[in-house]
Amino acid sequence: MRSAVLDVLPGTVKRSLTKLGADLATARRKRGLTVAAVAERMGVSKGTYLRVEKGDPTVTLGVYAMALFVLGFGDAFRDLVDPSKDETGLLLDEQRLPKRVHMKPRRSKA
């Protein structure tokens, strides 16, 4: 059964996943590791790992994260969407600030 994600995935995302997969393959080869060795360390089948190297969007994020970990990139996702580095979010926060601030009158204690 074909995944619906393949029909709606933007081209830029497909290309990014393809590049990620190719980069993982390069990292694996630089480390002198076989597909079978990496798959075993990840706890997945050789076929699943090969799908990672192809940038298959139907492979779970956890499998990609494990591939990154096994190849020595364990922190790759840690700051990926860090709110303090989200330029769009920070601009939106700034735009939402009120133009004026009105202080409420203090109630006297009686």
The span from the CA of 18 to the CA of 79, in Å, is 21
Q: How many CA atoms lie within 13 A of 37 on its CB side?
A: 9
The span from the CA of 44 to the CA of 63, in Å, is 8
Domains, the chain, with CATH or none: 5-96 (1.10.260.40)
Question: Is it the case that residue 2 has pLDDT exceeding 80?
Answer: no
Long-range CB pairs of 83-92, under 8 A, 24+ apart, other chains included: none
Confidence of residue 99 (pLDDT cuts 50, 70, 90): confident
Look up residue 67 and give its amino acid.
Answer: A
Query: pLDDT (tens digit, 9 = 90+) per residue, 5-48?
Result: 778 999 999 999 999 999 999 999 999 999 999 999 999 999 99
**Structural contact between residues 73 and 27, judged by C-beta atoms closer than 8 angstroms:** yes
The span from the CA of 38 to the CA of 17, in Å, is 19
- The residue that leads in pLDDT, 40 or 108, is 40
Give pTM, 2 decimals. 0.78
Query: pLDDT (tens digit, 9 = 90+) per residue, 52-67?
Result: 999 999 999 999 999 9
